[in-house]
Amino acid sequence: MKYKELIEVARNAKNYSYSPYSKFRVGAAVLTKAGKIYSGCNIEISSYSLTICAERTALFKAISVGEREFVAIVISTDEKDFITPCGACRQVISDLAGNIEIILTNGSGKIKKFRTNDLLPHPFTPPNLE
């Protein structure tokens, strides 16, 4: 399984975080069913509502090159506590990737695993629009 590599890619993605205001670095890496890995970091904008999270950056990169099937996403921070995806990221993960494995890593290198439906148990998804 590529999870060890996926975790390392997410941890490395933190180094590219553009977070001059909060100093809160986040890296993410998403694994496709084809075995490809796409990384992303959080990018802060002075108008905070325009900021994008690492999870969405990684998924949007993958989607923008044609990827549509995902297995897992890793979210890595420097914090002592585990940081789960924000509500917007939970919705994006649910819509674009479904009930995939979500792996969190903290600053101590520990990991915690969830599935999308654990963090967003009753999602509003594309079938609701049909």
99/80 Cα distance (integer angstroms): 26
CA atoms 62, 67, 68, 74: torsion sign = negative
Catalytic residue among 55, 67, 79, 101: 55
50/45 Cα distance (integer angstroms): 6
Tokens coding 117: 């439906």
Task: Please say if 55 is a catalytic residue.
Answer: yes
**CA distances for 49 relative to 28, 45, 91, angstroms:** 20, 8, 16
Is the Cβ–Cβ distance between 72 and 101 less than 8 Å?
yes
The residues annotated as belonging to the active site are 55
